[in-house]
Amino acid sequence: MKNIMVVFCGGTFSMIIDKETGGAVPHFHGEELLEKIPEINNLAKISMYEFGMYPGPHMTPERMFELAQKVKEIINRKDIDGVVVTHGTDTLEETAYLLDLVIATEKPIVVIGAMKTSSEPDWDGPQNLTDAIKIINNPNSTGMGVLVCLNGEINAASEVSKTHTEDIETFHSLDFGALGFVDRDKVIFNRAPRKLEKIESKKINSNVDLIKVYAGMDEKFFKFSADSGVEGIVVEALGVGNGV
């Protein structure tokens, strides 16, 4: 059996519905969640590292980079065959992409989350975790970069986007389609990621603004951003850069 480390970051996977407010709130720690899914111990030797109990919006670039350094440390251990990262879905694609950029390894890393809390009858967290373990157990997952798996669909971290706020079937690769899928005990890959890019970095700079261009926009936001002392501006422009 393979040795798999689950790196727990929180998110909806760990939440319950608060009876007073009706909102989803963090509740379960990583070890408590694993105890709720004992069947995964039949698939691999599972260990746990608790990074935190963060809702997705609380994962800042600095926290994402800290997480990346920890996952890099774990995946480079000789006694670890793969890593599953549990994460809030609101920022899951950003974290997964950062992991993909800064961690150079042939070993599989799979990022998962949940769209439903454990208070709901269709809680999807346990199945997503089970699918991630099956992916790591599959030899075809080697050298595929960081993968994202929810609702049985396997996507490359460099290609995937969250497309719906609440739908369980929300993570998709819009340009090229999924890499593959998990069907019960089978992990099926239809293609490899289009591009695997690595960036060596020892720090992350979050003093960068993102400005989205819209029809009729003038230069005031660019001036404000530049005058505020940012060290970089990313522009989401029209077409292929028109209007910049």
Q: Which two tokens stand for residue 170?
A: 């929300």
Q: What are phi and psi of 183, to 5 degrees?
A: -120, 95
- Say how far apart CA 134 and CA 195 lie, in whole Å: 24
* Residues 114-129 pLDDT 10s: 999 999 999 999 999 9
Q: Which of 97, 89, 52, 62 is closest to 195 using CA atoms?
A: 97
Under CATH, to which class is 3-189 assigned? alpha beta
By the 10 Å C-beta count (0-12 exposed, 13-18 middle, 19+ buried), 80 is classed as middle
* Residues 18-37 pLDDT 10s: 888 888 998 999 999 999 99
Q: Which two tokens stand for residue 157?
A: 């971290």
Q: Which of 220, 217, 213, 216 is closest to 237 using CA atoms?
A: 213
Catalytic residue flag (residue 170): no
pLDDT for residue 244 is more than 70: no
| CA atoms 14, 51, 169, 135: torsion sign | negative
Q: What are phi and psi of 114, to 5 degrees?
A: -145, 140
Where are the domains positioned within the chain? 3-189, 207-244
Q: Which of 165, 167, 228, 159 is closest to 197 using CA atoms?
A: 159
* Residues 161-218 pLDDT 10s: 999 998 999 999 999 999 999 998 899 999 999 989 999 899 999 999 999 999 999 9
The confidence band for 91, taking pLDDT boundaries of 50, 70 and 90, is very high
pLDDT of residue 241: 74
Q: Give the list of residues 6+ apart from residue 89 with CB closer than 8 angstroms, or none.
A: 11, 12, 56, 113, 114, 115, 150, 162, 170, 171
- Say how far apart CA 6 and CA 47 lie, in whole Å: 6
Between 7-11, 81-85, 118-122, 153-157, the lowest mean confidence (pLDDT) is in 118-122
Active-site hit among 12, 89, 117, 170: 12
- Say how far apart CA 51 and CA 45 lie, in whole Å: 19
